[in-house]
Amino acid sequence: GACRRVQLFMGIRSSAGLLTLLILSTALSSVVCNQDAGEMAARRTGVAVVNTVIVPAYKENLNLRPLTERLFKALDQHGMRQETELLIVDDNSNDGSQATVAALQSEGYAVRIIVRTNERGLSSAVLRGMRDGLGDRLVCMDGDLQHPPEKVPELLKALTASDFVIGTRYGDAFDVDPDWPLYRVVISKGARAMARPLTGLSDPMSGFFGITRQALNRGVTDISPLGFKIGLELYVKCHCQNHAEVNIFFGKRTAGESKLSGKVMVYYVLHLATLYHYRFPAALPLVFLVCLGMLWQVVRLVFASSKPKEA
């Protein structure tokens, strides 16, 4: 009886060992099958990946192909295609994005996708892309094509001499869609004014920005994945001093609904308060009151501009 128990125990251990080996083998196979598209491209061309373009996405499948094609066409025109990868960080959209990326990979595009099933949020998606990207120059852009892919090469080139770059709507050649509603213009100007003591960026709310990995590493322990405006968060907490700006045209949204709301503005003010506390810890109470005052002025102007004109 004891011998049988020993044999049974050894059989169970052997089966458990085989099961563990099978699980490890499957995991390794998954890692290999999902190997870096940028790394595979580097092996094919002999050119190391220098640039990573990060696109946080949710339900953006219809935009992935035009975004990829326009981006790599622009990169090709600047001789930067072979050294650049596109990294989509998707929050489990289940909209066909993975199949679209697989098709683009089969056509030779250095694009890959990370599907997050246990995390949510734009800021954490951007940080995940920066962590997993192969490049030393990192550019972030939206997946809805409001950020022009044709401008990405200019942002990447700017990072050779600067540690931070933004695509700005308010540069020397001010270029915003003339159909933008007045309240959007008022809110945007108010938001810029509130961030002015923190940064010299002309468009601190821009989600079209880039940073070098060297600069990113300076603030890696301080960066919050909950920051409302991740570009501004990185600029402040990575102690960026030398920045560049690239003029862009930011069009009016043609599909979907704008995310701008009163709640968004409150989140922005709260995020500013945390950044002011980080940069000027002793002045937090005063700064917060000033921010609230400015927010009230913005809201007042918005309501004033939205009132119908009397005949």
Is 90 exceeded by the pLDDT of residue 31?
no
Residue 270 pLDDT grade (very low, low, confident, very high; cuts 50, 70, 90): confident
pLDDT digits (tens, 9 = 90+) for 149-162: 999 999 999 999 99
Task: Please give the average per-residue pLDDT across 282-296, as a whole number.
Answer: 68
Q: What is the pLDDT of residue 299?
A: 63
Give the single-character DSSP code of 309: P
Q: What is the pLDDT of residue 49?
A: 96
pLDDT digits (tens, 9 = 90+) for 122-135: 999 999 999 999 99
Token readout for 211 is 């940073």
Report the C-alpha gap between 59 and 143 in whole angstroms: 9
pTM of the model: 0.77
pLDDT digits (tens, 9 = 90+) for 68-98: 999 999 999 999 999 999 999 999 999 999 9
pLDDT digits (tens, 9 = 90+) for 171-204: 765 545 566 566 566 667 777 888 888 888 988 8
Q: What angle do CA 139, 140, 141 make, to 5 degrees?
A: 125
